[in-house]
Amino acid sequence: MTTFPTSRAVRTTPEGLLWEPSDRWVRGRKGEVTVVDSRHPVLVWEPEVPVPLYAFPREEVREDLLRPARNPLTGTHTGSRIFYDLDLDGELLENAAWTFAAADLAGHIAFEWFRRAGRGLEHWYEEEEEIFIQPRDPHKRVDALPSSRHVRVEIDGTLVADTRRPVLLFETGLPTRFYVPREDVRLELFVPTDHHTGCPYKGTAEYWSWRGTAGVPRNIVWSYPQPLPAVGAIRDLLAFYNEAVDITVDGESLARPVTPFTRTLSQQPPSS
């Protein structure tokens, strides 16, 4: 029988994992099948991975659907001990779950999230809200605050946005993002793309690329048409990658920040 920890303090294992109990009710599904239904999940941070994952007590997992992996992965998930394939009516999802060797996490099973790894469970819920890509980090804040700052955005010397009614989005570990009403953006200078991304804090974003001749990465502008309730203030507003455009706030030019997105943007082909 698994002993459920109750303290909220973050622990460290000899393998370098960080873990912390969560009070959230978490469920994971593949199609219409609920594979995980847990009221005692544990958040786990792997070394050098900035986002957490969940591990669950075995009693709260459909172990009858798990089979020892036919082709277990190597070199993934710090301290992983055993990998499992998920068998759903003959459909085998390879390496969908695993256990950690850490003694602190004995009796727990972790799962891949399809929208993060391309395999694993497709739908995840915290309480009654569906979440995407990864669990939300309790040590991270995301605040969307309406503002009256004067924000100007330029691309290759062309003014593309000018507003005094932005919404500033403050997200731990990332630069401030400036969300601009569509009426204050020269949207005719951009073309919509079929690119979409998911965020556990904001929802699903749609994108636009620059029509100009500058070597600007694709999908430089994004918007959340149906953001999650906590950041509802950014609905339908447009934001630009600070890493690749020039932004001026109240007359002060902002330096282009270096973030995990900097490399991703530099590897994209230009929009024209």
Is the domain of 108 the same as that of 200? no
Q: Between the ranges 68-82, 83-97, 180-194, 204-218, where is the mean pLDDT highest? A: 180-194
Is the domain of 121 the same as that of 98? yes
Ramachandran area for residue 174 (φ above 0: left; ψ -120 to 50: alpha; else beta): beta
Rg (CA), the chain: 21
Is the domain of 105 the same as that of 206? no
Is the domain of 153 the same as that of 251? yes
Q: Is 41 helix (H, G, I), strand (E, B) or coil?
A: coil
- Domain containing 17 equals 11-131
Q: In this predicted model, what pLDDT tens digit does every residue of 122-181 receive, in sequence order? A: 999 999 988 888 899 999 999 999 999 999 999 999 999 999 999 999 999 899 999 999
> What share of the chain has pLDDT > 70, as a percent?
93
Is the domain of 78 the same as that of 115? yes
Q: In this predicted model, what pLDDT tens digit does every residue of 58-70 receive, in sequence order? A: 999 999 999 999 9
Q: By CB neighbour count within 10 A (0-12 exposed, 13-18 middle, 19+ buried), where does 241 fall?
A: buried
Q: In this predicted model, what pLDDT tens digit does every residue of 224-268 receive, in sequence order? A: 999 999 999 999 999 999 999 999 999 999 999 988 888 778 766
Say how far apart CA 188 and CA 235 lie, in whole Å: 20
Is the domain of 120 the same as that of 161? no
Say how far apart CA 158 and CA 29 lie, in whole Å: 47
CATH of the domain at 225: 2.170.150.40
pLDDT given at position 114: 79
Q: Is the pTM of this model over 0.85?
A: no
Overall number of domains in the chain: 2
Q: Is 76 helix (H, G, I), strand (E, B) or coil?
A: coil
204 contacts 198 by C-beta, under 8 angstroms: yes
In a domain, 260, yes or no: yes
